[in-house]
Amino acid sequence: MAERICLGSNRTSEGTGLIFNIQRFSVHDGSGIRTTVFMKGCRLNCRWCSNPESIRPYPEIMTSDSRCILCGRCAQVCPKRAITLDSKRKIDRLKCDLCLKCVEVCPTGAIRVTGQYATVDEVMSEIMKDELFYQNSGGGVTISGGEPLLQWEFVRSLLSECKQEGIHTALDTSGYASWAVLSKVLACVDLALYDIKHTDPQYHKSGTGGGNRQILTNFRLTASKVRTWLRVPIIPGYNDSKDNITIIAKLAKETKVEKVSLLPYHQLGKAKYEQLSRRYTIRVMPPSEEHLLKLQKLIENQGVKTTIRY
């Protein structure tokens, strides 16, 4: 993604969206070589989220203590006196008003912003750089998040532009939105990558902060409208029981999804919580390969193609 994209804008709309990353040459978010656009903002708050910078729907400051040289420039320009230096640089997030002046003067990138406003045209300019790869590999563009449906008007406009250019489109979503919103976006989608975290409403809420009734209803509707791949994060002790995976397998068979992808929990995003001054509350180890293979077999026993995406 470009270093700065439309930072003068301060709100999302049909023509402007808040993005925290554009990942080129992606091979895990649909078929072929893809460009994945990550939208910022999500109504859920999954305890295991590996991209915590994707949750809040506004630009944020991320810090890196290892890069800080304690030059003091950030403290000098901060109008709220939210930054202090002793043996290390500290930021009082309650005082910070996200003016981003500290980001502008930091010489080492020890303070940086995550979340940039961009227009549809600016994002399309990035996407079109790899048009040849999409054509040769059967790839395209995937809109992910956060939750893309939180910025559905911008996402629909972006997907519509992709379709006009003949680019294959995919939507990576939890489905946590009204069907009226989701259906409008799906009109421009070739493939839905649909996440289901848990089938039990209480467990779902305890792990994500939101209910799953709307998610499950929208999943059935989505699978009846467009090609759908079901994606399940595997969180040990939370959703990896035989009963829950069997229910998911039967749901996949019932809706005739093309495949189920198991996404094993990992701790690669743990450092990001510290960079955002947040606590990393989940305390589990990644699932073993043996356990994952057993879960894969459970789903395949229902006649559903299943993969494990390490």
CA-CA-CA-CA dihedral for 59, 142, 139, 252, to nearest 10: 150
Tell me the per-residue pLDDT of 92-139, one tens digit each, with 9 for 90 and over: 999 999 999 999 999 999 999 999 999 999 999 999 999 999 999 999
Residue-level pLDDT at 1: 37
CA 81 from centroid of its chain's CA atoms: 33
Do the Cβ atoms of 216 and 256 come closer than 8 Å? Answer: no
- Tell me how many degrees the CA angle 77-83-85 measures, rounded to the nearest 5: 105
Average pLDDT, stretch 130-151? 97
Residue-level pLDDT at 14: 72
Q: How confident is the model at residue 199 (pLDDT cuts 50, 70, 90)?
A: very high
Residue-level pLDDT at 13: 65
Q: Which domains does the chain have, with CATH numbers?
A: 16-57+115-308 (3.20.20.70), 60-111 (3.30.70.20)
Interatomic CA distance for residues 250 and 255, integer angstroms:
9
DSSP β-ladder status, 16-26 and 34-39: antiparallel
The pair of three-digit structure tokens given for residue 3, joined into one six-digit string: 């270093």
Q: What is the 3-state secondary structure (H, E, C) of 61-82?
A: EEECHHHCCCCCHHHHHCCCCC
Residue-level pLDDT at 10: 53
Residue-level pLDDT at 263: 98
The three-class DSSP label of residue 101 is helix
Residue-level pLDDT at 310: 80
Q: How confident is the model at residue 61 (pLDDT cuts 50, 70, 90)?
A: very high
Do the Cβ atoms of 61 and 103 come closer than 8 Å? Answer: yes
Interatomic CA distance for residues 102 and 11, integer angstroms:
21
Do the Cβ atoms of 19 and 1 come closer than 8 Å? Answer: yes
Average pLDDT, stretch 280-287? 94
pLDDT at 8 over 50: no
pLDDT at 2 over 60: no
The pTM of this model reads 0.92
Tell me the per-residue pLDDT of 160-179, one tens digit each, with 9 for 90 and over: 999 999 999 999 999 999 99
pLDDT at 4 over 70: no
Interatomic CA distance for residues 303 and 243, integer angstroms:
17
Tell me the per-residue pLDDT of 64-101, one tens digit each, with 9 for 90 and over: 999 999 999 999 999 999 999 988 999 999 999 999 99
Strand partners, 26: 34
Q: How confident is the model at residue 12 (pLDDT cuts 50, 70, 90)?
A: low
Tell me the per-residue pLDDT of 202-260, one tens digit each, with 9 for 90 and over: 999 999 999 999 999 999 999 999 999 999 999 999 999 999 999 999 999 999 999 99
DSSP secondary structure letter of residue 164: H
The three-class DSSP label of residue 214 is helix
Residue-level pLDDT at 7: 36
Q: How confident is the model at residue 39 (pLDDT cuts 50, 70, 90)?
A: very high
The three-class DSSP label of residue 105 is helix
Do the Cβ atoms of 170 and 231 come closer than 8 Å? Answer: no
The three-class DSSP label of residue 89 is strand
Give the chain's mean pLDDT: 94
pLDDT at 185 over 50: yes
E strand or H helix that includes residue 251: helix 242-255
